[in-house]
Structure 1
């Protein structure tokens, strides 16, 4: 195994917290990654797999185990069974934004709105990354992964990953374990081959964010440039010179609530309907079937509400920080908890807990953290 001298996780995560692990291994190829994980899992020692480190919030104590850095790269073009589409199989360690840039340069549509999202390709399906109405679930075909249970490498269709709003079977949500303990080795996307000409944007959320009229044609390059500019204004594009970007992006998820609960929130709170299941599965036991199929229950679709709005309207504004604390909200975006320079994980956790408490007190809703928390509690 290609073992290297351990370095602090604060140097490998965008929130800049975490001590050095007991061991560190750099996997440069998929074969190295598979072999390394099989050996470590067989030894039953704690393992932390790190890609870009943009969705990790790590505690202050040294990690008592082995950190495996996924440094695999590469894009392979594959044929698609659908006319006008192409498939790209991408190594898990490949930089996500580099993939987006590649797709835009070649005229492949489907992920341009996710420009500027930090991290690696292998991490993208774990939390079903998305921005401005685009999510990876819309283009994901399958992943190759290695299961921790038996060390076997498998190709798993996207439909079997349990992809939902910022979640999947592979994500370790705060306070729980992943439904499927596995590491992604590669990701296959299917993108529309639209070329360099302009075409209308189909997503209302993206059109609104970029100020594009319905039916107005724009190029993929234009979309990417304007998404990057929009994210930069919010401090959501990594910049070593800007502490507003020393974050894990949106620290809290936009909350998905019932329609009835959404009506208890102030009407000015931004909200978006969550697409309902238009074809629910109904199981009727044959032993009791009388020939009549009951009508489906009439239910309102859930609603996604803006966590940033809830935070600001609970009295916590952009740039908020405790006296003498080195952790604070971004001065540009109320959803980003930032390390202003040398902040401990506990300083960031203290701020996160305060925000959760304020929002719960004002609106009766507990915001959930989006990053994966390692050896740190809220």
Structure 2
């Protein structure tokens, strides 16, 4: 029997009653339709990187799309009239970083800043993933979905996707309020992604759109660099913050074949080189974690809390040195975005924080925004840590942090 612990990057979660990996478009739709017709809980998963699932058995159906094809319906090279937009279609089950590699190798610009983000193409548009000056929304042309309510397929243009900060109309269909599941469609959206068509630009160079990335490359924000160099810099920056997945997970039977073998080999080699240069923190051994486990910082859901978007009045109550960025509130009015990592750290939860010295879950030793499984943690351990951080930040600043992952079977409101 497959457990959620086997297929999630944080490595926790209970057994799954029925686990299906359809290999055809019709198979995906039929698996979803069958679960819905029987009234069974349904969880469509990608790479398992943005999920925290309870330890109790999941008495429903988990569907993981095994289709991973990428096709280029356009001419991949610049055509005679100078048109530089290239449309690329990827099936929902395609590993996201495999897609980024494909685009960079083909000489296409638009997703290189999103290198190293774990997950799948299907999940990328649900979450509207973003990093280092790019969001997936800026490159999406359209999304093909199965509408679970109306029982039909749809091609949704990017303009109708409701993209926002870590948001889309797909994701919003699962929630009645932040971190509050909707009655009908949870933990799978009303719209199940089948494939995504991207509009990328034929160019060997991309724009460096983020300060930290510019520093790593030794250039200025707005400069253009080779997309390969941008990708490599992003991977190095993410690795230094422990925000890459543990690539050794692809050796496990439950994950075998879900990512390109050559990319797995490269990621594992880079990961082991980093571990050799930076041994695991001594506190892991002291806490009784798995001996010589150098990759514990990577056993996470990635960024666990969303950066809060506040009203101007709420932002005024923050300390003067708290980060502030212009943003838009859910109702479309101007707001102020602040840093969840800053709030966590300044509320007293520093890198490596644990509820107790021997707690198997803790904040990453590299990044306060990642909650990690240090070895043998349960979903309950991670949830307890999350609540401690939420309560502490709320007590200090009056801001309730909202989890970024899909949280199943646990209440982290």
TM over 0.5: yes
* Corresponding residue number in structure 1 for 2:405: 371
Contact 2:311–2:329, Cα closer than 8 Å, also in 1: no
Q: Tell me: CA distance 1:163–1:238, structure 2 relative to 1, closer, same or farther (3 Å).
A: same
* Corresponding residue number in structure 2 for 1:262: 315
1:71 Cα offset (Å): 1.4
Structure 2 CA distance for aligned equivalents of residues 219 and 63 of structure 1: 45
- Report whether the alignment pairs 1:242 with 2:295: yes
Structure 2 CA distance for aligned equivalents of residues 167 and 209 of structure 1: 28
* Corresponding residue number in structure 1 for 2:346: 313
Please give the per-residue CA displacement for 1:100-150, whole angstroms capped at 9, x wherever unaligned. 111111121111111000000000011110002211111111111101113
Q: Tell me: CA distance 1:253–1:328, structure 2 relative to 1, closer, same or farther (3 Å).
A: same
Q: What secondary structure, in the 3-state scheme, does the structure 2 residue paired with 1:230 have?
A: helix
* Corresponding residue number in structure 2 for 1:187: 196
Q: Gaps (5+ residues) in structure 2?
A: 76-80, 249-293
Moved more, 39-48 or 348-357: 39-48
Following superposition of structure 1 onto structure 2, how do residues 1-378 of structure 1 map, counting pairs within 5 Å?
6-79=1-74, 83-171=83-171, 172-173=174-175, 174-177=179-182, 181-195=190-204, 198=205, 200-202=207-209, 206-207=213-214, 210-214=217-221, 216-239=223-246, 240=248, 241-274=294-327, 301-323=334-356, 324-378=358-412
1:215 Cα offset (Å): 5.1
1:302 Cα offset (Å): 1.6
Q: Tell me: CA distance 1:215–1:311, structure 2 relative to 1, closer, same or farther (3 Å).
A: closer
If the length of structure 1 is used for normalisation, what is the TM-score? Answer: 0.87
User: Cα RMSD over matched residues?
Assistant: 2.2
Q: Tell me: CA distance 1:147–1:199, structure 2 relative to 1, closer, same or farther (3 Å).
A: closer
Structure 1 CA distance for aligned equivalents of residues 82 and 209 of structure 2: 19
Please give the per-residue CA displacement for 1:158-197, whole angstroms capped at 9, x wherever unaligned. 22221111011221342132696121000111111113xx
Q: What secondary structure, in the 3-state scheme, does the structure 1 residue paired with 2:125 have?
A: coil
Q: Tell me: CA distance 1:309–1:34, structure 2 relative to 1, closer, same or farther (3 Å).
A: same
Please give the per-residue CA displacement for 1:4-58, whole angstroms capped at 9, x wherever unaligned. xx31110001111111111111112222111221222222211111111111100
Contact 1:10–1:17, Cα closer than 8 Å, also in 2: yes
Structure 2 CA distance for aligned equivalents of residues 176 and 374 of structure 1: 9
Q: Tell me: CA distance 1:66–1:377, structure 2 relative to 1, closer, same or farther (3 Å).
A: same
* Corresponding residue number in structure 2 for 1:292: none
Q: What secondary structure, in the 3-state scheme, does the structure 2 residue paired with 1:65 have?
A: strand
Structure 2 CA distance for aligned equivalents of residues 13 and 200 of structure 1: 32
Q: Tell me: CA distance 1:209–1:362, structure 2 relative to 1, closer, same or farther (3 Å).
A: farther
Structure 2 CA distance for aligned equivalents of residues 21 and 82 of structure 1: 52
Please give the per-residue CA displacement for 1:273-302, whole angstroms capped at 9, x wherever unaligned. 22699xx9xxxxxxxxxxxxxxxxxx7x32
Contact 1:133–1:205, Cα closer than 8 Å, also in 2: no
Contact 2:93–2:122, Cα closer than 8 Å, also in 1: yes
Contact 1:210–1:227, Cα closer than 8 Å, also in 2: no
Q: Tell me: CA distance 1:246–1:26, structure 2 relative to 1, closer, same or farther (3 Å).
A: same
If the length of structure 2 is used for normalisation, what is the TM-score? Answer: 0.80
Contact 2:309–2:329, Cα closer than 8 Å, also in 1: no
* Corresponding residue number in structure 1 for 2:286: none
1:213 Cα offset (Å): 1.1
Contact 1:97–1:115, Cα closer than 8 Å, also in 2: yes
Structure 1 CA distance for aligned equivalents of residues 324 and 180 of structure 2: 26
Structure 2 CA distance for aligned equivalents of residues 304 and 270 of structure 1: 8
Q: Gaps (5+ residues) in structure 1?
A: 1-5, 281-298
